[in-house]
Copies of this chain bind each other. A is one copy, B any other.
């Protein structure tokens, strides 16, 4: 076998890339996002709007999610949209808004990068750089974020096998950046009543195969606002190291993904419920 691969645990059926393999590293990786650690006993919640829209929207949403217990703020400045006619994000103005809200609230920020030419810019603002589902196999982008010294949130492609997901992470580690969080966000199946099919079995599978932390995105995973709480609870029960969820101060007015965004009250209630689940699996949400 190639020395760049290892066997992994019995019966997995495919080789594991050497740098992400759990066998490669006795201790689990802790990813540190401006002081917030993911991969330890705390379940870390990342929340915020799909897209940054305005100072007011971002500030109100950020205050809400912080009060509810979120530790990191999410918000898109560059948005990958299926249609060229949909809102494409505020670009650098969005990054500046995120930066000012970080200063205001103290929440570290995670935001997506879509283009190798934007990596330097996004890196200069973000505390964690997100590579989205559609770019999970954008290898030049993976290499570029691998050369950054910033944590990377890598979302599973909607069509990616577990093996391909690990290989994508390996591209990042292979450039010297080991601060990678994997995110299950739903895969595409024949079922159409939900936007995607959230594959929660990916969490224990990945935790067994790699030393990297694994979080879950129940917002994209279901595409249905009312269903997010149930799947968020399941994600904590199944062993996720964190959650990333869309919250909007006024979901019905959101420029993007309002149908899957929680409102402030729903988020606050959910956080209370999640803390109970976390304790039941011997973890905690601070």
Chain A residues with CB under 8 Å of chain B are 2, 4-5, 11-14, 17, 80-85, 114-118, 134-135, 137-141, 157-159, 161-164, 167, 170-171, 174, 187-194, 197-205, 208, 221-222, 224, 226-227, 230-231, 233-239, 259, 273, 276-277, 279-281
Shortest Cβ gap from A264 to chain B (Å): 21
B197 engages A189 (CB within 8 Å): yes
Shortest Cβ gap from A223 to chain B (Å): 10
Asked if A159 meets B159 with Cβ closer than 8 Å, knowing A194-B205, A204-B230, the reply is yes
Instruction: Quickly give the copy total for this chain.
Output: 4
Of B139, B157, B199, B224, which contacts A159 at CB under 8 A? Answer: B157
Asked if A82 meets B137 with Cβ closer than 8 Å, knowing A13-B192, A117-B116, A189-B197, the reply is yes
List 10 other contacts, CB 8 Å, given A187-B191, A234-B237, A276-B280.
A13-B193, A17-B83, A82-B164, A158-B159, A159-B190, A197-B201, A201-B230, A204-B226, A233-B281, A279-B280
B193 engages A190 (CB within 8 Å): no
Of B4, B117, B191, B227, which contacts A161 at CB under 8 A? Answer: B191
Shortest Cβ gap from A178 to chain B (Å): 14
Bound CA–CA A167/B192 (angstroms): 16
B222 engages A201 (CB within 8 Å): yes
Chain B residues with Cβ under 8 A from A14's Cβ?
193
